[in-house]
Amino acid sequence: MCRFLAFIGEPILLDDVMTDQSHSLVSQSMAAREAKTDVNADGCGLGWYGERPRPGIYRSILPAWSDPNLLGLLGQIRSRLFMAHVRSATSGGVSYTNCHPFTHDNMLFMHNGMISNYRKLRARVEALIDEVLYENIHGTTDSEAMFHIALSRGLPADPHAAIIRSLSEVVAITSAYDRPERVRFAAALSDGEALWGFRWASDEHPPTLYYRAVDRGTVLASEPFDEDANAWSAVAPNTAVRIAKDGRVDHLPIDLSAHAAA
């Protein structure tokens, strides 16, 4: 599975939390410690907020460790809120359009996880996307589909409710088989004002997700980027976190049964 990192706080140079640590995200692209696959070499990407509401985006099919353009940007861009992703493909081939983060208007989204047997389920899953949004899909991943399902369910207005509704409707599809398909979901998203993280799974194995305070802000990451284990808090399974600019972290349950009952 993939690895990602996001930051919110006062403006910093991106490489302050991207390359200057013993187990940085760039290092994780070569040797992740808590992922299903050690190497995440199927592309990389970066999204950041600057002077305008819509974020800047850089995506590449090169591994993060060997992309000179990415490494150059990390030492030049200063941002108060940004996301970065290194990809290990579970659905969709290695292509620019399948690299994260994904964006729509002022929203940024990146994902680590899977819908098992997505090729079999893809048509039914993508049918959940509003027609007006479907034309914005350019890749073939379950990640991009989940983002657009959530956009179709009111993501900009209420990220927590939109993700719960999206997961519920996808699980209704994946569970309609004698042997239900698995859904594992860790994601980060932002509207440029707050940073959200989500950790959920239909089985007992949700993807890892952590957060910690750093100088001038807060980091959300798939795995710690240093050896200071006591500084990191694991996001509990089936939980969302909302991280504010001032570092406040709110925890909200991801309870699909509540949506089903509604």
Give the other-Cβ count within 10 Å of 182's Cβ.
16
Q: Does domain 3-261 have CATH number 3.60.20.10?
A: yes
pTM of the entire predicted model = 0.94
C-alpha torsion angle, residues 132, 140, 89, 224 (rounded to 10): 0
Tokens of 144: 């991009």
Secondary structure letter of residue 76 according to DSSP: T
Residue with tokens 């050896």: 227
- What is the DSSP secondary structure assignment for residue 68, as one 8-state letter? H
44 is catalytic: no
- End-to-end C-alpha distance for the chain, whole angstroms: 33
Across 24-33, 52-61, 101-110, 217-226, least confident range: 24-33
At 229, the pLDDT band (50, 70, 90 cuts) reads: confident
pLDDT in tens, 116-156: 999 999 999 999 999 999 999 999 999 999 999 999 999 99
Q: How far apart are CA 185 and CA 93, in angstroms?
A: 19
Catalytically annotated residue among 1, 2, 83, 86: 2
Check if the beta carbon of residue 233 is closer than 8 Å to that of residue 191: no
Cα 143 to Cα 72, 208, 261, distances in angstroms: 27, 16, 26
What share of the chain has pLDDT > 70, as a percent? Answer: 96
The reported pLDDT for the residue numbered 26 is 85
C-alpha span between 57 and 70 (Å, rounded) = 11
Cβ neighbors of 155 (< 8 A, separation 6 or more) are: 107, 147, 162, 163, 189
Q: 32 pairs with which residues across the strands?
A: none
pLDDT at 196 over 50: yes
Q: Residue 33: pLDDT above 90? A: no
Distances in whole angstroms, Cα of residue 41 to Cα of each of 61, 109, 146, 235: 8, 20, 22, 26
Return the H-helix or E-strand segment holding 185: strand 183-190
Upstream peptide bond of 101 is cis (omega within 30 degrees of 0): yes
The confidence score (pLDDT) of residue 261 equals 47
Number of CB atoms found within 10 A of residue 196's CB: 22
Q: Which amino acid appears at position 177 of this protein?
A: Y
Q: How confident is the model at residue 260 (pLDDT cuts 50, 70, 90)?
A: low
- Mean pLDDT score, 19-36: 82
Q: Report the DSSP beta bridge partners of residue 252.
A: 240
Burial code of 151-166, b = ≥16 C-beta within 10 A, e = fewer? bbbebeeebbbbbbbb
pLDDT tens-digit readout, 69-97:
999 999 999 999 999 999 877 766 788 89
Q: Could you tell me the residue ranges of all domains in the chain?
A: 3-261
